[in-house]
């Protein structure tokens, strides 16, 4: 198909210093969990984006020296020749498809407490990062950098730049954002220095300027030098000589880098969940940069609409359309726009499961794209599924797992029937996407249904509840059961194990709310699931006019939502809606009028008034249909295979359900020997040729 001409501007080449990007699609540096320990996994993940049409593809934060160690969180490094070789695998994969490769040279300063290297953290003035989440907390405090340390930092950066060029990178970043060391020099609360690097904004900018110059000089101008800078706090601060400190900083640096990469200061606003933040949310903070410099500017905003992308360029907000999350959800987003297939874009839903993977210390995962992170290990391509199958498959259950299984099976060549008991497909998404802020999550269903409806080898059967006899009478060769899971009205014990079922008046679960039950207020929501459901239900009930009290076993509302950047925004939402919350408590009883509670550690009792209780805790999988089919004599059923997948197999987030459905479909009908899982390994100095290792 031909490209829509209104999108032509997105495919113009753009100069970045000595380099030229082939188009305006720029995969900015983002965490992937893929460190130098998995060089081929990382190369395949990044290379897939270049194959999909991203003109610039960057790796994530890459430590320049042992004094910047972010463990236990996954981070890459450029410390020696083994690291050079590891990164070269990635740049080779990116260059193979005509894209530029970028690297985010990084020093964490006081925000990297060096748990593994045990080196004292560095900072401008000895001011620590006072983390509020246990995963980031440490009793280690930084030391004050003296003039020699600053010279060493600049040397480390220059030497890392040389190694980066040798690894094949075209764009080298200076990273002055998100609380890391150059950022700490910019910010007055971190920087109390009285020398040439502290005091005035002009002095606080000096280190960033010198790092840019040293990076360019080290590579003799052959590589482009980018500055990644957080502007949320700087733009909010008054300046004596400019509109804000942000304007003043950019004014001092306007000619220094070859590219400005602009972002927010905090993860919860930089990578905000769609639940609370729309597409393009960065614009009010970063829109001034292009008015201050002639250098190209890239920024993000969870861009999925090509019309929004064009608007960013036409209105002079950005030169490059930055993508992190959208590039994970659909590595082929640029190619689909280029070939007039915008309706096939697998749009990011902003759930931030990808971000949670970094917090978990594992390779990136994605709700929309189950192949993310599996490109090398399992050989999965997000767009190409080898047609290697024939016969018919009946998929029972039209939720996320069932739809993904049906789509992938159809792409493999099977004739697929997808049966759903309800009138509409979508499964759990029918209810969940109607909760406050979660509308974008329905893209999971919309994308898959859109593709399924266009496939000649797929038949869709809504309003089709099936018994075991119905299934066998259908005559399919293979059956996949994806009938979902169910919330249970079960309490949680102080030992954090599920307790007894609570039989009392007006006790509900999210399934009851989805079925349309009428709830009487005041309402208590007891959440020991601790992801999005409990807080979203509380918000929904509040929007209906009920007085709501949210109760959790954890220390904060939506405790696991910290992993997805939702937790701070949940607390803000509760405050705005007047939702009360109680933490570190379990429900011990309810009589329809009074809710009994106990402090989870001390057992101290408490009571509150409530007419209804919604329990959001345990989900139960399993399938009576699957059990009935599995109990039949195989000679009678004549089924070649029977599979249980998605939440029915093992309940989890939507991402888990989609992944299970995809894997079931990829592996269905294959002998065990044909299912190969690659195991990556790091390069080490001892493994390199002697001459290379000695360089």
What is the model's pLDDT at position 139? 87
Residue at 667 is within a domain: yes
What is the model's pLDDT at position 495? 83
Residue at 492 is within a domain: yes
Residue at 377 is within a domain: no
**What mean pLDDT value characterizes the chain?**
96
Could you report the per-residue pLDDT of 434-477, keeping only the tens digit for each? 999 999 999 999 999 999 999 999 999 999 999 999 999 999 99
Look at residues 620, 635, 655 and tell me which one is the last residue of a structural domain.
620
Number of domains in the chain: 3
What is the model's pLDDT at position 693? 62
Residue 579 maps to which CATH number? 3.50.50.60
Could you report the per-residue pLDDT of 280-339, keeping only the tens digit for each? 999 999 999 999 999 999 999 999 999 999 999 999 999 999 999 999 999 999 999 999
Residue 109 maps to which CATH number? 3.20.20.70
Residues 342 and 396 in one domain: no
Residue at 680 is within a domain: no
Q: What is the residue range of 610's domain?
A: 487-620
Residues 533 and 664 in one domain: no
Could you report the per-residue pLDDT of 524-540, keeping only the tens digit for each? 999 999 999 999 999 99
Of the residues 7, 173, 175, 180, only one is catalytic, namely 180
Side-chain-side CA neighbours of residue 30 (13 Å): 31
Residues 520 and 436 in one domain: no
What is the model's pLDDT at position 362? 94
Q: Is the pLDDT of residue 687 over 70?
A: yes
Confidence of residue 681 (pLDDT cuts 50, 70, 90): very high
**Helix spans in 367-516 (H):** 400-412, 429-432, 443-452, 468-474, 510-514
Residues 252 and 293 in one domain: yes
Per-residue tokens: 50: 């270049």
Q: Is the pLDDT of residue 695 over 60?
A: no
Residues 223 and 249 in one domain: yes
* Secondary structure string (H, E, C) spanning 26-73: EECCCCCCCCCCCHHHHHHHHHHHHHCCCCEEEEEEEECCCCCCCCCC
Residue at 686 is within a domain: no
CB 128 within 8 A of CB 35: no
What is the model's pLDDT at position 694? 58
Look at residues 331, 357, 383 and tell me which one is the last residue of a structural domain.
357
Look at residues 357, 377, 406 and tell me which one is the last residue of a structural domain.
357
Residue at 116 is within a domain: yes
Active site residue 414: no
Residue 401 maps to which CATH number? 3.40.50.720
Confidence of residue 682 (pLDDT cuts 50, 70, 90): very high
Residues 471 and 512 in one domain: no
Residues 467 and 603 in one domain: no
Q: Is the pLDDT of residue 614 over 90?
A: yes
CA distance 182 to 184: 5
Give the residue from 295, 297, 322, 288 showing the smallest Cα distance to 308. 322
Residues 133 and 270 in one domain: yes
CA distance 419 to 421: 7
Residues 458 and 596 in one domain: no
Residues 430 and 493 in one domain: no
Residues 501 and 613 in one domain: yes
Confidence of residue 690 (pLDDT cuts 50, 70, 90): low
The average pLDDT across 419-430 equals: 98
Could you report the per-residue pLDDT of 554-611, keeping only the tens digit for each? 999 999 999 999 999 999 999 999 999 999 999 999 999 999 999 999 999 999 999 9
Could you report the per-residue pLDDT of 83-126, keeping only the tens digit for each? 999 999 999 999 999 999 999 999 999 999 999 999 999 999 99
Residue at 363 is within a domain: no
Could you report the per-residue pLDDT of 16-35, keeping only the tens digit for each? 999 999 999 999 999 999 99
Residues 52 and 143 in one domain: yes
Residue at 628 is within a domain: yes
């Amino acid at each position: 198909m031909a490209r829509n001409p209104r999108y032509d501007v997105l495919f113009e080449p753009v100069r970045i210093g000595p380099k030229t990007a082939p188009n305006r699609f720029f995969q900015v540096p983002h965490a992937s969990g893929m460190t130098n320990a998995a060089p081929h996994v990382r190369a395949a993940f990044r290379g897939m984006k270049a194959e999909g049409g991203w003109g610039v593809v960057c790796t994530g934060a890459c430590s320049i020296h042992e004094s910047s160690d972010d463990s236990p969180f996954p981070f890459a490094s450029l410390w020696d020749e083994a690291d050079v070789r590891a990164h070269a695998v990635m740049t080779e994969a990116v260059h193979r498809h005509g894209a530029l490769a970028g690297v985010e040279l990084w020093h964490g300063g006081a925000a990297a407490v060096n748990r593994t290297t045990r080196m004292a953290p560095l900072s401008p003035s000895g001011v620590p990062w006072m983390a509020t989440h246990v995963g980031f907390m440490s009793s280690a405090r930084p030391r004050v950098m003296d003039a020699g340390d600053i010279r060493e930092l600049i040397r480390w950066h220059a030497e890392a730049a040389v190694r980066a060029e040798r690894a094949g990178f075209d764009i080298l970043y200076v990273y002055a954002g998100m609380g890391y060391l150059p950022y700490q020099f910019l910010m007055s609360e971190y920087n109390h220095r009285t020398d040439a690097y502290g005091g005035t904004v002009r002095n606080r900018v000096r280190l960033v300027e010198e790092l840019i110059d040293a990076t360019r000089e080290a590579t003799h101008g052959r590589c482009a030098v980018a500055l990644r800078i957080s502007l949320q706090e700087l733009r909010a601060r008054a300046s004596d000589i400019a509109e804000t400190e942000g304007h003043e900083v950019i004014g001092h640096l306007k000619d220094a880098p070859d590219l400005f990469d602009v972002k927010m200061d905090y993860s919860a606003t930089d990578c905000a969940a769609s639940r609370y933040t729309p597409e393009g949310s960065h614009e009010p903070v970063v829109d001034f940069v292009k008015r201050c410099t002639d250098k190209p500017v890239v920024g993000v905003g969870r861009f999925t609409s090509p019309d929004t992308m064009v608007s960013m360029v036409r209105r002079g907000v950005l030169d490059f359309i930055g993508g992190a999350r959208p590039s994970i959800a659909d590595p082929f987003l640029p190619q689909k726009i280029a070939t007039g297939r915008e309706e096939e874009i697998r749009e990011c839903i902003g759930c931030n499961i990808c971000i949670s993977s970094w917090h978990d210390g594992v390779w990136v995962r994605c709700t929309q794209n189950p192949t993310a992170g599996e490109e090398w290990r399992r050989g999965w391509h997000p767009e190409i599924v080898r047609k290697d199958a024939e016969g018919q498959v009946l998929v029972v259950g039209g939720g996320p797992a069932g739809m993904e299984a049906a789509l992938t099976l159809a792409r493999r060549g099977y004739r697929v029937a997808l049966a759903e008991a309800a009138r509409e497909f979508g499964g759990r998404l029918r209810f969940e996407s109607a909760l406050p802020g979660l509308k974008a999550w329905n893209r999971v269903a919309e994308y898959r249904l859109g593709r399924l409806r266009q496939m000649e080898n797929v038949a869709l059967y809504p309003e089709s509840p099936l018994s075991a006899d119905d299934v066998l009478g259908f005559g399919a060769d293979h059956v996949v059961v994806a009938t979902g899971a169910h919330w249970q009205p079960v309490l949680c014990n102080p030992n954090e194990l599920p307790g007894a079922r609570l039989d009392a008046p007006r006790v509900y679960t999210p399934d009851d709310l989805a079925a349309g039950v009428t709830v009487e207020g005041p309402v208590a929501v007891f959440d020991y699931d601790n992801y999005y459901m409990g807080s979203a239900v509380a918000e929904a009930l509040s929007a209906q006019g009920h007085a709501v009290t949210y109760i959790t076993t954890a220390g904060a509302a939506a405790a696991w939502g910290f992993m997805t950047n939702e937790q701070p925004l949940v607390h803000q939402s509760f405050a705005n809606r007047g939702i009360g919350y109680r933490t570190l408590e379990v429900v011990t009883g309810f009589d329809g009028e009074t809710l009994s509670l106990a402090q989870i550690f001390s057992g101290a009792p408490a009571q509150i008034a409530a007419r209804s209780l919604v329990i959001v805790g345990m989900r139960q999988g399993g399938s009576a249909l699957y059990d009935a089919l599995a109990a039949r004599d195989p000679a009678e059923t004549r089924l070649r295979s029977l599979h249980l997948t998605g939440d029915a197999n093992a309940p989890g987030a939507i991402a888990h359900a989609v992944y299970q459905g995809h894997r079931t479909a990829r592996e269905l009908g294959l002998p065990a020997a044909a299912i190969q899982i690659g195991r990556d390994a790091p390069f080490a100095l001892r493994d390199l040729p002697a001459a290379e290792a000695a360089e």
